[in-house]
Amino acid sequence: MARLHAVGKLMQVAVAPKERSSQSQDPARAPVVPDETTVRSALERHLRRELGSEVEIDGFERKSSGFSWITYSFVAKTTAGASRKLILRVGPPNGLFAPYSVLPQVRALQSLSGTHVPVPGLVSFDQEGAELGCPFFVCEHVEGDVPVPWAGSKLSEEHRRDIAGQFIAILGELHRLDWRGTQLASLQGGSEERDEVRAIAGWCASLERPTARYYPLLDWGGRWLLENCPLPPRRTIVHGDYRIGNFLEREKRITAILDWELVHLGDPHEDLAWALMPTFNGRSKKLYGVLERDEVVDRYQRASGVQISAKSLSYYEAFALYQAAAIQMRAVRAFEVDEFNDMRMAVMASQMASIVRAFDRALEAAV
């Protein structure tokens, strides 16, 4: 055991099989998913209080069976006869990134309303989740479809070029915004640690949670990332999950950028590197399968006014893979340690070998 303590933190907490079974029998760890009737009545009570009138909910429907936030769509009708199509997003206690906070998303939607970054309008939120037992927020429904990032798109090349161009232009707008004086300024850390380093440290901490398998390259590479984080050209709002699949598009226009749960302040290279990951581009190195990397960088620089550093981009490409590995490990842990019987989590474990190998290659390129 003494030998283990000399090495990285992830190693120290790799769980032995015996410990694994004793932890997993803790009933407090059992997954809890609010049923739809409970969610719906909690929502009615919440909206009645927020809107100050009786509210009837129609067409209540779960929109996704995602790994993290649960999304529902519905129509809220007031006694005055007004009717609004809305979206409810709930952070379930057993979700992949639990425990959840609605505050980053709420602050992003508040701060970006009325800017050139299209976002759904925020209606209300409840961080304490008094009615539901977990945090949630309500926002306007925005018309559009979500493109699927995992497979090659059936849309025409011209269509995808249009969308990819807007996608980069919006990212440039996001990174141009002065966050000081907005709600997002509260994301700034008060400590001496740089914001971008704090974001990386968060993922390192996530990997320190107990899992069945220890990956030496992740442990070692995580420390390298922490020790070699470049200075940002400008500290900007970073979406944190800016990729194909996290926006709505309608009639060749991006109508809303979604999923702001990982928003933070940091280095703009982070969003660009994440968006370029082949996983989110139908396994292509081109953005949305159509825009070459150089063209992406060129368009982005013009849109944002940020000068891209090849070295920083390489660093954040390595970090993107590290983050992807940390997300997969969360899923592995949910299945293996918490005994969350969602087979999608178990399948994610099988991707670890390819991600860790790609991470090593990316690290070599970033050095």
Q: Which residues bind other proteins (CB under 8 A)?
A: 3-4, 6-8, 11, 14, 17, 20, 65, 148, 150-151, 211-217, 219-220, 223-224, 279, 332, 335-336, 339, 341-344, 346-347, 349-354, 356-357, 360
Give 162 or 336: the residue with its C-beta nearer to other proteins. Answer: 336
Which of residues 24 and 124 has its CB atom nearest to other proteins in the complex?
24
Output 140 or 338, the one with its CB closest to other proteins: 338
Which residue's CB is nearer to other proteins, number 6 or number 80?
6
**Three state DSSP letters for the chain:** CHHHHCCCHHHHCCCCHHHHHHHHCCHHHCCCCCCHHHHHHHHHHHHHHHHCCCEEEEEEEECCCCCCCEEEEEEEEECCCCEEEEEEEECCCCCCCCCCCCHHHHHHHHHHCCCCCCCCCEEEEECCCCCCCCCEEEEECCCCECCCCCCCCCCCHHHHHHHHHHHHHHHHHHHHCCCCCCHHHHHCCCCCCCHHHHHHHHHHHHHCCCCCCCCHHHHHHHHHHHHCCCCCCCCEEECCCCCCCCEEEECCEEEEECCCCCCEEECCHHHHHHHCCHHHCCCCCCECCCECHHHHHHHHHHHHCCCCCHHHHHHHHHHHHHHHHHHHHHHHHHHHCCCCCCHHHHHHHCCHHHHHHHHHHHHHHHC
In the complex, what is the shortest distance from the CB of residue 40 to other proteins, in angstroms, rounded to a whole number?
Answer: 19
User: Which lies closer to other proteins via its Cβ, residue 84 or residue 223?
Assistant: 223
Residue placing its CB nearer to other proteins in the complex, 254 or 325: 325
